[in-house]
Structure 1
Amino acid sequence: MDLPVTIGVDGSEASLAAADWAAREALLRGRPLRVLHALPLMPHLLPSGSRPARPAGDLLHEVRHVLAVRHPQLPVRTDEVHDAVTSALVAAGEDAELLVLGARGSGGFADLRVGSTALHVAAWAGSPTVLLPANGPGTHPREQVVVGLDARRPAEAALLFAFQAARRYGLPLRVVHAGAGPAGAGEGHSGESVLLARVLEPWQAAHPEVAVIADTEDAAPGPVLVEASAKARLLVLGRRPADRAGHLGPVAHAVLHHADCPVTVVPEA
């Protein structure tokens, strides 16, 4: 069965832009696109300002029409479900190759770059989850895929996702190992570089078509990865099982709130 790329939409500009990104990603992967809209279980109990501005059918019809015009060759399925948004999206991730969201939807505070729904889904979804920046990517050239890596505990699912993305996009992969500090390996910065090279050796052998940039930094990983995002088409982070209970950790939070490119959170088995 071809699992779809699934996009959650709520009618906001961010979610509609995310739908177009998800459509292009689905085409690259040769997968269908599922467009999902969650409806509140009892909308009449919501405050008037939180009620849907238009029927879900109208929204899904509009999204399908726009995608059909822009990507006529893409199979698109639309679904509406009556459930809490977070529950609906997490459930949808169980049957998706990739889950895509705008980092911030129509609710919440306008100055937040990442909303609570996006953070919850990224922390709980069983599939890789892409959050698209609320303000769109910056103007820098997008010349690489970036993955954040702890070379002492390499996140293999995230590495695999990053190598496959780099191959799919035809871009080099920059692997960033940051934050260990020069005393970590007992041999200073060069020891960290050797450690990273050893971790990457079998991956490079398995993916010879991907050019790899091994980058060891003594600085804190959050700021390093945010800076790297300025030239990245995609930034990839791993999420360990210990982080599953709704806690992404400070590095993931820093990256999700400040990255200048789409960020994928990949759960480890």
Structure 2
Amino acid sequence: MDLPVTVGIDGSESSLAAADWAAREALLRDRPLRVLHALPLMPHLLPARAAGGRPGGDLLHEVEHVLAMRHPDLRMRTEEAHDAAGAALLAAGEDADLLVLGARGSDGFPELRVGSTALLLAARTGCPTVVLPVEPPGPHPRDLVVVGVDARRPAEAALDFAFAAAHRYGLPLRAVHAGSVPRADLGGEAALLAGALEPWKAARPEVEVVADAESGGPGRVLVEASAKARLLVVGRRPAGPAALLGPVVHAVLHHAACPVAVVPGA
């Protein structure tokens, strides 16, 4: 099945940047793009720009036009969903190759770096979810894909995703294992990391891999690594009833300087 790259939009700058990112990713993956705009069921809750004769239609038309101009080879469809954004995108993620969204929507508090919808979807979707930061990436060169690795319990789905992304982008992959261990013990941690990476390096010999074992909190180390990354990849446990993100994923979603891909485990 030709599952789409799906992106949620609401008219915010963050969501429009996510739509353009998703379009480029769909082309790289040779997938169609599905642009989804969720609308509340109660008309008085519609944003002012969507309150015309056809709610949200102008926004979808504008986004479709801009993306078609920028990416003429893109296969695309647009869709309105009459539901809350979180519910609509969660359902869309069941039939998506990848879900993309901005960190904060149009109705979020300016002080928030990540909105409740992004946190919900990162914790619950069955497909990988990419969250774009509110602030555009800084001037640092974006010449790496970074993946966080627990060398003792490597997340296979996250490693698969990261190696495939590095291959598509033609970039080296930096695999980072971090923990609160003395620097004198980093040699053993590096050996564990090398062993964890070996099956993927054998399967993807074309991907240049830089393995880094570092002393420090994983969240902080990965946030620092994101300053030069085109994409940061982290794994998470399968969604449980509480739908809670771990502290590392929570930290990178709030503070990373690049798009973050959250990949659910099996």
Class of the TM-score when normalised by the shorter of the 2 chains:
over 0.9
1:182–1:192 Cα contact (<8 Å) kept: no
Is 1:252 the counterpart of 2:249? The answer is yes
The aligned counterpart of 1:53 is: 49
More divergent stretch after superposition (17-26 vs 241-250): 241-250
Residue 223 of structure 1 aligns to which amino acid in structure 2? R
The 3-state SS of whatever aligns with 1:94 is helix
CA deviations over 1:193-249 (Å, ceiling 9, x no partner):
111111111111111000111100110011100000000000000011266732111
Distance in 1, matches of 2:242 and 2:176, equals 26
Aligned equivalent of 1:105: 105
> Which residue of the other structure, out of 188, 193, 216, is the alignment partner of 1:191?
188
How far apart, in 1, do the equivalents of 2:93 and 2:167 lie?
24
Q: How far apart, in 1, do the equivalents of 2:153 and 2:234 lie?
A: 13
Structure 2 Cα separation of the partners of residues 52 and 118 of structure 1: 23
Kindly report which structure 2 residues correspond to 1:111-260, keeping only aligned pairs within 5 A, or say none. Answer: 111-182=111-182, 188-241=185-238, 245-260=242-257
Unaligned runs of 5+ in 1: none
> What is the number of residues matched between the two proteins?
262
Corresponding letter in the other structure for 2:104: R
Q: Say whether the 8 Å CA contact 1:43–1:51 is kept in structure 2.
A: no
CA deviation vs aligned residue, 1:5-61 (integer Å, no higher than 9, x gap): 0000001111111101100000011011000000112233x4xxx745313111100
Contact 2:6 2:34 in 1 (8 A): yes
What's the secondary structure of 2:72's corresponding residue? Answer: coil
Counterpart-to-counterpart distance in 2, 1:245 and 1:161: 25
Q: Which runs of 5+ in 2 are unaligned?
A: none
Distance in 2 (CA, whole Å) between partners of 1:128 and 1:221 is: 20
Partner SS state of residue 8, structure 1: strand
Mapped to 2, the partners of 1:127 and 1:259 lie a distance apart of: 21
Counterpart for residue 14 of structure 1: 14
Please, what TM-score do these two structures have when normalized by structure 2?
Answer: 0.95
Q: What amino acid is the match of 1:9?
A: I
Residue 265 in structure 1 maps to residue 259 in structure 2: no
Q: Within 5 Å, which residues of 2 pair with 1:21-32?
A: 21-32=21-32
Q: Is residue 75 of structure 1 aligned with residue 71 of structure 2?
A: no
CA contact (8 A) 1:124 1:245 kept: no
Q: CA deviation at 1:182?
A: 3.5
Residues 231, 258 of structure 2: 8 Å contact kept: yes
Deviation at 1:142, TM superposition (A): 0.4
By how many angstroms is 1:180 displaced?
4.6
Contact 1:146 1:228 survives alignment (8 Å): yes
Q: Against the structure 1 CA distance between its residues 237 and 85, is the aligned structure 2 distance closer, same or farther, given a 3 Å change threshold? A: same
8 Å CA contact 2:181–2:215 kept in 1: the answer is yes
Q: Percent identity?
A: 73
Superposition TM-score, scaled by structure 1 size = 0.94
Of 94-103 and 173-182, more deviation after overlay is shown by: 173-182
Distance 1:72 1:239 in 2: 35
Indicate conservation of the 8 Å contact 1:36/1:78, yes or no.
Answer: yes
